[in-house]
Amino acid sequence: MSIAIKGRVAMEQNPLFNDPFFRQFFSIPQGPIEREIQAAGSGVIIDAREGLIVTNAHVVEHAEEIAVTLSNGRQLMAHKIGADPRSDVALIQIPASGLSTIPMGDSDALQVGDYVIAIGNPFGIGQTVTHGIVSALHRTGVGDDSRENFIQTDAAINPGNSGGALVDMKGALVGINTAIIGPSGGNVGINFAIPVNTVRRVVDQLLRRNTATRGHWQ
């Protein structure tokens, strides 16, 4: 499915705008200056009865409106239940009617060389399917979290695929597409997905308390 968001983000201001002497000569609005944003992503229905959809946290990070377009063209408004930026997992909800749940797979059973299919909304053009193999497992160093555990795949993923499904050849969900490495921002065959077993654990916490917590040590 496709996800479209509208929201606002704060714009960086020149420090001179905060100087009272400078402000008296110019008509500068009080408070932070914001700009409207629009973005596109993807999502996966994990509970048809409750209308629960998993996507990436960065897809809905600044969302004030979340519009979901199903594969049959039906459009529904969603609300955010919770998000965990560290794992990049978010949970949103739409009215539950006539939905289908994707079968859940086991990401721990994946092996390098397994065929996988990526489903998403690249560049906002609509639902698209690509295929490839699992290139590596337990990848780290993609972001800032030392506990990363990504599936690396060469199934073509581009901006807009974020939050979409990575499925095995039986159609079971094994990951949520989340990131690419590419000098131009497009696909060069190095793409990453969050293992579905990690997604399950985060979703359980988001359902209970709208956020995810982790143990830590000194």
Catalytic machinery residues: 58, 88, 162
Pull the structure tokens for residue 138: 């337990």
SS in 3 state form for the chain?
A: CEEEEEEEEECCCCHHHHCHHHHCCCCCCCCCCEEEEEEEEECEEEECCCCEEEECCCCCCCEEEEEEECCCCCEEEEEEEEEECCCCEEEEECCCCCCCCCCECCHHHCCCCCEEEEEECHHHCCCEEEEEEEEEEEECCCCCCCCCCEEEECCCCCCCCCCCEEEECCCCEEEEEEEECCCCCCCCCCEEEEEHHHHHHHHHHHHHHCCCCCCCCC
Task: Tell me the pairing of strands 75-84 and 63-69.
Answer: antiparallel
- Asked if residues 186 and 67 have their Cβ atoms less than 8 Å apart, the reply is no
CA distance 115 to 128: 17
